[in-house]
Chain A
Amino acid sequence: MALLTVKNLKLGYESDVILDGLSFTVDKGDYLCIVGENGSGKSTLMKTLLGLMKPLGGEILTSDGLSRNEIGYLPQQTLVQRDFPASVWEIVLSGCQNSRRLNFFYSKKDKALARKNIERMGLNSYMYKCYRDLSGGQQQRVLLARALCAAKEVLLLDEPVAGLDPIVTAEMYDLIDSLNNDGITIIMISHDIAAATRYASHILHISSDLFYGTKDEYLRANTSNSFIGIHDSDLLKGKIVNG
């Protein structure tokens, strides 16, 4: 049984349709990578999956007892967070907000969950450190731990490696991969097509022609080649302009 079924989804802002006729399913334990150019509607799709936006048409079905706000979400960092005075512990614990009951304070269970996820992300020694003093990779791990607190079984990651150096990027991917191996379903938005084809089990390519299928099918199809092709010519242009 699929955890998440998207049927004929139509996305956009009022008169401006960005994306139409999108259908895909996510099964338990999948690692789905959503790739596509800037402005293709990746972020809009993600907001819709999270229930922050209403689709123009089509439907999103969840099953296996998964409710929409049990998707753990790793957003991109905002400007506000850069110099926010908060400890790692406070931030991870804030992942335990639960919508169903109005609880003013965190329970012992919440705290145990937060502690477990801090440990899982290898952040034990940073528990009471300030978020703004951490490196980019560590900050991402803090946000990942927070997402895990909110997640039942699905994690939605929005460009988790943006702005990280190659070594930390590789560590981040390994970490996400290990979570996937532990049985957590991953939905990741990425620009990094190489990593997508390396780690993902399924790929959703959003552009003028939509593609959804397993990684192997994707590699055989043309869509990937044209995407990589566009990248190359962009790089070339950049080089000429720069020097």
Chain B
Amino acid sequence: MDKLILYMQYPFVRYALIVGTLIALCSSLLGVTLVLRRFSFIGDGLSHVAFGAIAIASVCNLTNKMLLVLPVTVACAIFLLKSGQNTKIKGDASIAMISVGALAFGYLLMNVFGTSANLTGDVCSTLFGSTSILTLTAFEVWLCVILSAVSVLLFILFYNKIFAVTFDENFAKAVGTKVDTYNLLIAMVIAVIIVLAMNLVGSLLISALIIFPALSAMRIFDSFSKVTILSALISVLCALSGILISIVAGTPVGSTIVATQAVMFAICCVLGKLGGKLA
């Protein structure tokens, strides 16, 4: 406990907690609709795309990688959600294709043109999340706060539309809801959140932030609103405790958070079985 209080005096620990909580909140909100629309893997796919983009950015020696990574990821997100339904290559296959493709090209680029002395270390920290969450600058924290606030605001405003589009796209379209616009919006917000979340847990573990809270909440509750709220709570709780544990125990931040999520999922499963479904 003393150790914790001691650590809390450092600004970088407070930054990490703020950013971690916000990212967890945003990703869990959209996670519910993604899981229900069978797009669980989109987080994985997009984060690999972001990895590829980071590789290109570092090869080109860009000082601000975000400028390249964000647009590329957003473009891919739009492409994936749009091509989801009526194409020859089905949603899951195209996600898998893009994700491994980007991963391979990213690593290839870094290997061939890389200037860094510690290539394996760089790649590893991009994939599994690094201590970079503990080295955030004030600018990055503010960027994250603003983008998260915008995401949450958009989600609350369009909550009813998101529900309608998730539950029944054709019906929504038939009564005149602009389904395509909302899909676009969802895709863009997801892409932004994923790029932000790469700092926290790394490319390979991002899916966990998106799907675990939603799936855990679905074990317990039976209505969309309650599932959404609970998944947000679970996600924030797990992110906070994950970061704190990793600080105290000296474990990697990303994998500790995901491990916490997995344990939470198991608890929710048991609770769901024991208590039956609460209405």
A residues whose Cβ falls under 8 Å from a Cβ of B? 50-52, 68-69, 71, 73, 75, 78, 80-81, 84-87, 90-91, 93-95, 97-100, 104-106, 128-130, 132-133, 146-147, 150
Contact = CB atoms under 8 A, between A and B. Distances in A.
A87 B160 contact: no
B174 interface: yes
Given A85-B224, A128-B223, A146-B171, A105 B38 contact: no
A16 to B, nearest CB: 15
B47 to A, nearest CB: 24
A94 B223 contact: no
B174 A105 contact: no
A104 B176 CA distance: 15
B273 interface: no
Interface in B130-160: 157-160
Interface of B: 36-38, 157-161, 163-164, 166-168, 170-178, 218, 221-225, 227, 277, 279
Q: State the main secondary structure of chain B at its contact with A.
A: helix
B223 A90 contact: yes
A52 B174 contact: yes
B22 to A, nearest CB: 23
B279 A129 contact: yes
A69 B175 contact: yes
A73 B175 contact: yes
Contacts of A150: 171, 174-175
B160 A104 contact: yes
Contacts of B163: 86, 90, 94
Nearest to A52: B173
| 8 interchain residue pairs of minimum CB distance | A99-B176, A69-B176, A130-B222, A87-B223, A50-B174, A73-B174, A94-B164, A86-B224
Contacts of B218: 85
26 contacts: A52-B173, A68-B176, A69-B176, A73-B170, A73-B175, A75-B168, A75-B174, A81-B167, A84-B167, A85-B218, A85-B224, A85-B227, A90-B224, A94-B160, A97-B160, A97-B177, A99-B175, A99-B176, A99-B178, A104-B157, A106-B160, A128-B279, A129-B222, A129-B279, A132-B222, A150-B175
A97 B279 contact: no
A98 B221 CA distance: 28
Contacts of B277: 130, 133
Given A52-B170, A129-B279, A80 B158 contact: no
A51 B166 CA distance: 20
Given A97-B164, A97-B172, A97-B175, 14 more contacts: A50-B174, A71-B174, A75-B174, A80-B37, A80-B166, A85-B218, A85-B224, A86-B167, A86-B223, A90-B163, A90-B225, A91-B167, A94-B160, A97-B160
B165 to A, nearest CB: 9
Contacts of A146: 171
B152 to A, nearest CB: 14
A51 B174 contact: yes
A85 B218 CA distance: 7
A112 B182 CA distance: 26
